Amino acid sequence: MTDFKLLRLSKPAEKDLRLIAAYTNREWGEVQKNKYLGIIQQSLKSLADLSVTGKLRNDIATDLYCYSIQKHLIFYRETEQELLVLRVLHERMGLNQHLLR
């Protein structure tokens, strides 16, 4: 058993992070943008390093996990070797609408 998993971002998750960066930069400036993206990046690393675990959300979709980081939710799935980040959504977004597209 390894102590970490390969971390992979889906295309929608990559887009989510770009939108989070643009919004944070526009509203609070570059310093805050870099700080917040660093917090998200550290959370993703902790998930991949198996040092934290999200909550199983079978109520939304089978084998879907969710991890909360400040105002955002990281949705992911795991295999034996990989952690696939599906979306990084604001807690106020309609989850079913964004996760199922």
Task: Report how far residue 37's alpha carbon sits from residue 33's, in angstroms, rounded to the nearest whole number.
Answer: 6
pLDDT at 1: 47
pLDDT at 98: 57
Spell out the alpha helix ranges (H) of the chain: 11-28, 30-48, 95-99
Residues (pLDDT < 50) of the chain are 1, 101
Q: Which residues pair with 86 in a beta bridge?
A: none
pLDDT at 50: 81
pLDDT at 94: 62
* End-to-end Cα separation, the chain, in angstroms: 34
pLDDT at 92: 77
* All domains of the chain in start order, with CATH: 6-99 (3.30.2310.20)
pLDDT at 52: 77
